[in-house]
Structure 1
Amino acid sequence: MSDEKLYELVCHVSNEIFGKDFLHKAFFNKRLRTTGGRYMLRSHHIEINPLVFEKYGMDELVGVIKHELCHYHLHIEGKGYQHRDADFRKLLQTTNSPRFCSTLMEREARKTTKRYTYKCAKCSLLYNRKIRLNTKKYRCGKCYGDLFLVSLENLK
C-alpha cells in the first residue's frame, strides 16, 4: 500500500466515522518499531507503521487509523487528546476504536548471562558474580585472602 492510498483511507475513515475532514498528511513510517502509529502534535500529521498492514491486514490498519484520528480530532478541537483523558476514552468507545494495537515485534530472547565463580585461596569461600571481578584489586571479605576464578558458566 502506498502513502497516497493510506492518505485516501485516512480521509475516508475520518469522514465516515467521525463526520469530519482530515486536513493534514498521513504516511507510513518504517522507523516505528513498537507502536502501530502516532499523531504528531505540532504538524498534525499521522504516521503509521507499515508492519500493521503487512502482519495483520486492513482491519487492524483501520483500527490504528481510528485510534490516531481520535487523537487528531480531539487535539484540533482543544479537548483532552491524551490516553488518560476522559474525552479520549469516550471517543474511543463511541467510534469503536482499539486502545492498543496488536504486537508488532516479538520480544527478543533473553541474552545469555555469564556467571563467574571466585574462590578464596585461604578460607575457600565461594563468590558468585554476574560481572567479572579484578582479582588483583579485590580480596576475600572474610579473611582478606587472594581470590581466583574457579568457573565461568553461561546461563540462559
Structure 2
Amino acid sequence: MTDQELQVWVEAISLRSFGRAFTHRATFNSRLRSTGGRYFMKSHNIEINPKQLEHYGTAETEKIIKHELCHYHLHLLGRGYQHRDADFKSLLKKVDGSRFCQSLPGAQSRRHLPYRYELVCQSCGQKYPRKKKVDVKRYRCGKCAGKLKLFPLQPEAK
C-alpha cells in the first residue's frame, strides 16, 4: 500500500466513523518500532507503522487509524485528546478503535530483556539487578548509602 492509498483510506475511515473530514496528511513511517501510529499536534499529520499492516492486516491497522483519528478530531475540537482523558476513552470505544497495538513478532521491549548488570553495595552487600549500565559514581545504596560496584552478568555486546 502506498502513502496515497493510505491517505484515501484514512479520509474514508474519518468520514465513515467520525462524520468529519480528515484534511491533513497520513503517511507510513517504517522507522516506528514500538507504536502502531503517531499523531502530531503541531502539523495535525498522522503516521502509521506499515509493519502493523504487514503482520496483522487491514482490520487491526484500521483500529490503529481510528485511535490516531480520535487524537486528531478531539484535539481540533479542543476536547480531551490524551489517553487518560474521558473524552478520548469514550470516543475510542464508540468507534471501536484499539487502545494498544499488538506487539510485532521479534520485537522485544526493554522490559523483557534479561538483566545484564548487577550493582552490589560494598558496605551491606545489597544487590540491584540492572538492564542498563549505570554510572556508580552518581548513585549510592538505598539501604545504607554505601558505595556501589558494577558487575556485568554477561559479556558486553559491542
TM over 0.5, shorter chain: yes
Alpha-carbon distance between aligned partners in 2 of 1:69 and 1:50, rounded to the nearest angstrom: 17
Amino-acid identity (%): 48
Deviation for aligned residue 1:101:
0.7
Structure 1: runs of 5 or more not aligned: 116-127, 132-151
Structure 2: runs of 5 or more not aligned: 119-126, 134-151
Deviation for aligned residue 1:112:
7.8
Name the counterpart of 1:38.
38
Name the counterpart of 1:106.
107
**Contact in 1 for aligned 2:115/2:153 (Cα 8 Å):** no
Alpha-carbon distance between aligned partners in 2 of 1:32 and 1:82, rounded to the nearest angstrom: 20
Q: Which structure has the highest helix share of the two?
A: 2
| Deviation per residue, 1:95-144 (Å, 9 max, x gap) | 111101111252178468489xxxxxxxxxxxx9x99xxxxxxxxxxxxx
TM-score by length of 1: 0.70
Name the counterpart of 1:92.
92
Alpha-carbon distance between aligned partners in 2 of 1:110 and 1:18, rounded to the nearest angstrom: 40
Are residues 76 and 58 of structure 1, via their aligned partners in 2, closer, same or farther at CA, if it must alter by over 3 Å?
same
Number of residue equivalences: 123
The one-letter code matched in structure 2 to 1:107 is Q
Q: Which structure has the highest strand share of the two?
A: 1
**Contact in 1 for aligned 2:11/2:21 (Cα 8 Å):** yes
The one-letter code matched in structure 2 to 1:58 is T
After superposition, residues 97-136 of structure 1 pair within 5 angstroms as 97-104=97-104, 106-107=107-108, 110=113, 113=116
The one-letter code matched in structure 1 to 2:108 is R
* Max Rg structure: 1
TM-score by length of 2: 0.69
Superposition CA RMSD, Å: 2.7
Secondary structure class of the residue paired with 1:57: helix
**Contact in 1 for aligned 2:70/2:91 (Cα 8 Å):** yes
